[in-house]
Amino acid sequence: MRIGGAFPFGQANVPVGLAGGEQWYLPPGNFYVQLGSVTLLQVFDAINQIWRNIGFPGGNVQVTSADGFNYRLINFSGVVGGIQITAAGSGATVNGIGSAQNGVSIGFGAAPVNGIAASAYAITGGKLSGLTIANGGSGFVFPPVLLIDAPPIGGIQATATCTISGGAINAVTLQNAGAGYTATPNCYIVPQYLLPVQGGLPINATPPASVIPPGLIAPLSGSLSSQPPFMPGVQWPAAAIAGTGASITVNGLTGSGTLTGAVVTQPGVGYTGTTIPSITFTGGGLAGGVAATAIMSMSVQSLGTAGTAGAGYTVGTPWISDIAELAGPPVTTTDFCNGVFQPRPARGRIAATTGFTGTAAIVEDPGFGLQAVPNIGTTLFTTQPATVSTTTAVVGGVFDISLVQPAVED
C-alpha cells in the first residue's frame, strides 16, 4: 500500500482499519497519525530490542523518518498485554534473560480460533533488593530524579523515586525492582534545577547578572555562571536549587534461581473472555510452584443474551462497565513498554424497556485495556425500572480505524 496517491502535494487522511491484534507498519516518510479508540502507535527500540508505545488511543501523533519497519500501528484489543507473576518458583539452574540463557520456555497453550497464540520470554534472577540513602544531601527544593543503570538487553529496567524534607532526600521507593541484572547497578541522582516555581515567587526573581539575556547565544564555556539562559519564573540560584552531596546505593541483587520477569513479545490475536490463556513454564530447572497470569487487553464486543430481562427501563438510559482489572494482587498499570494500561470502561445506551437483553443495549465505546470480563450497570436512571435486567459482556478484539496523513512541507 502506498500512502500519498497520485497527488504531488499529498492527500487527505487515509483510514487504516485493523481488527483486534492486527498490526500495520507505516511506509517510509513523515506522517500525522490520528489513533483510533483501541489502537497504539509503537516505535522499535533497536537498543533494547522492544516495541515502545508512543501514541495511545485517541491521540494525535506526528511521525518523522518512518522507514517502513520502525513504526507500527497495533490494535491492542483481544490480546495479551502482559504477564503477572503470582509465584516466583525456585530451582532455576541459570540466571539469565530468555530461553537461550536460562533454558526456561513460556507456553500460552493453543491459539484462539482463527487467531495467533501469544509468546513471551522468561527472566530469572537479577532483581534489586532495595536502595539505601548513603547521604541525603542538602539544598534540594524539588525531589531529584533517580536513574538506575540499565540491565543487559532484554532485561527489565529498575526504577525508583524519592522524597525530600528540609532540603535533603529523606526516603526512596523502589518502584520496579527490575529483572535480569548481572551486577549491582549504580543509582544516579539528577537534580531538577530548571523546574518552574511550585507556587509563589522564585527564590530570587532577579537572575544573576552573568546570565545571558534573551536573544543572545550563551557561550559554550561550561561555566555554570552563564548557564542556563534566563527563563522567566525559573528559581535562582541554580546551585542552591540543584542540591548537593546526596548519594544513594543499591543494596544488591536478589531473586537468584527464581522467575523475576516475563516479557511479552507477541501479544497474540483473537483472544476473548472465554479464551484467556493459561501460562506454563518448562525447562531450566524452574519449579517450586512457579505461576503467572495473563494480563489481557480486551474491549466489549456486545452485551450477551445470557441474563435476565428487565422491565420499565427508559430507552436511552446510559450504561457503563467497571474497569475489570485482574483479580489478585494489584497490577501496575504504567507505561511506555510493558503493555499494561489503565483500563477505560465501556459505555453505551439501553435501546429497549427490557434493559440488557439481546441487542437492546447499544455499545457506543467498547472500552480499552479491560483485563477481565467487566460487570455492566446503568447510570442516571430517569425512572427506576420495575425489574432489574442483568447481562454478561462479550469481550475480545474490536475493529478500529486510525487516520494516517502524509506530512507535506510548505
CA dist 374 and 363 (Å) reads: 14
Check pLDDT > 90 for residue 260: yes
**In this structure, what C-alpha cell is assigned to residue 63?**
511521525
CA dist 332 and 315 (Å) reads: 38
Check pLDDT > 90 for residue 141: no
Report the SS3 class of residue 100.
helix
Tell me if the pTM is above 0.75: yes
Q: pLDDT, tens digit, for every residue of 59-91?
A: 999 998 899 999 999 999 999 999 989 899 999
**In this structure, what C-alpha cell is assigned to residue 86?**
503470582
Secondary structure of 19-88 as H, E, C letters: CCCCEEECCCEEEEEECCCCEEEEEEECCCCEEEEEECCCCEEEEEEECCCCEEEEECCCEEEEEEEEEC
Q: pLDDT, tens digit, for every residue of 3-13?
A: 554 444 456 78
**In this structure, what C-alpha cell is assigned to residue 111?**
491459539
Check pLDDT > 90 for residue 256: yes
Asked if 157 and 148 count as a contact pair (C-beta separation under 8 A), the reply is yes
Q: What percent of the chain has pLDDT over 70?
A: 79
Output the pLDDT for position 251: 96
DSSP-derived pairing of the beta strands 14-18 and 400-406: antiparallel
Length of the chain, in residues: 410
Q: pLDDT, tens digit, for every residue of 175-208?
A: 999 999 999 999 999 887 554 444 554 455 555 5
Asked if 298 and 351 count as a contact pair (C-beta separation under 8 A), the reply is no
Asked if 162 and 142 count as a contact pair (C-beta separation under 8 A), the reply is no
Q: How many CB atoms lie within 10 A of CB 306?
A: 11
**In this structure, what C-alpha cell is assigned to residue 239?**
546551585
Q: pLDDT, tens digit, for every residue of 288-334?
A: 899 999 999 999 999 876 678 888 888 888 889 988 777 766 665 54
Determine the average pLDDT of the residues in 34-61: 91
Output the pLDDT for position 400: 97
The alpha carbon of 236 is separated from its chain's Cα centroid by a whole number of angstroms, namely 36
* DSSP state string for 214-257: TTSPPPSS--GGG-SPP-TTB-S-HHHHH-EEEEEEE--EE-TT
Output the pLDDT for position 333: 53
13: exposed, middle or buried (Cβ count in 10 Å: 0-12, 13-18, 19+)? middle
Which amino acid belongs to residue 230?
Answer: F
Output the pLDDT for position 226: 43
Band the pLDDT of 368: cuts 50, 70, 90: very high
Sequence ranges of the domains in the chain:
14-77+401-406, 81-118+271-294, 128-197+223-253
Of residues 336, 406, 410, 409, the one with CA closest to residue 66:
406
Burial pattern 228-241, b for ≥16 Cβ within 10 A else e, equals eeeeeebbbebebb
Q: For residue 359, what is the DSSP state? A: T
Q: pLDDT, tens digit, for every residue of 325-350?
A: 777 666 655 444 456 788 899 999 98
Band the pLDDT of 354: cuts 50, 70, 90: confident
Band the pLDDT of 267: cuts 50, 70, 90: very high
Determine the average pLDDT of the residues in 154-174: 94
CA dist 19 and 167 (Å) reads: 53
Band the pLDDT of 238: cuts 50, 70, 90: very low
Output the pLDDT for position 237: 47
Determine the average pLDDT of the residues in 33-61: 91
CA dist 115 and 20 (Å) reads: 10
Of residues 120, 394, 107, the one with CA closest to residue 272:
394
CA distances from 389 to 143, 322, 350, 365, 381 (A): 51, 17, 11, 20, 13
